[in-house]
Amino acid sequence: MRQFCPPSGERKTPYAAPTKTCLQVAKGKTEQAVELLSLVLHHPISNQLMLGEGPIRDSAGALLTKLEDELPSETYNAAHNCGQQLEMDDVIISLFSQIS
């Protein structure tokens, strides 16, 4: 059911991640949201500021904390680890392919 991390463990990686993550959560795709937020949290872009919200890292971390309570720990940890291995360009391509 994973969208960005294939079950086989193959490497498949958003400047738009916070927005997309909110959409995923709203659609009940909490595991995919954890993957995206983990990518954002471990990407250099996370040090940039979001208008009126501070560093992206802070927003991503706060959302991850909320999502951690919504998933079994094994599922959360797997999604978090998967997200850390994603490539930003791959996720951007995947996101654009979903909206086109």
Tell me, what's the pLDDT at 100? Answer: 63
Domain limits for position 81: 17-99
Whether residue 56 is predicted with pLDDT greater than 60 in this model: the reply is yes
Is there a domain that residue 84 lies in?
Answer: yes
Count, residues in the chain: 100
What's the whole-number mean pLDDT along residues 24-28? 64
Q: Give me the amino acid identity at 37.
A: L
Is there a domain that residue 47 lies in?
Answer: yes
**Could you tell me if 53 and 44 are in contact, meaning their C-beta atoms sit under 8 angstroms apart?**
no
**Percentage of the chain surpassing pLDDT 90?**
21
Total of domains in the chain: 1
Tell me, what's the pLDDT at 55? Answer: 75
Whether residue 40 is predicted with pLDDT greater than 80 in this model: the reply is yes
Instruction: Identify the residue with better confidence: 76 or 18.
Output: 76
**Could you tell me if 56 and 42 are in contact, meaning their C-beta atoms sit under 8 angstroms apart?**
no
Is there a domain that residue 5 lies in?
Answer: no
What's the whole-number mean pLDDT along residues 85-98? 82
Is there a domain that residue 90 lies in?
Answer: yes
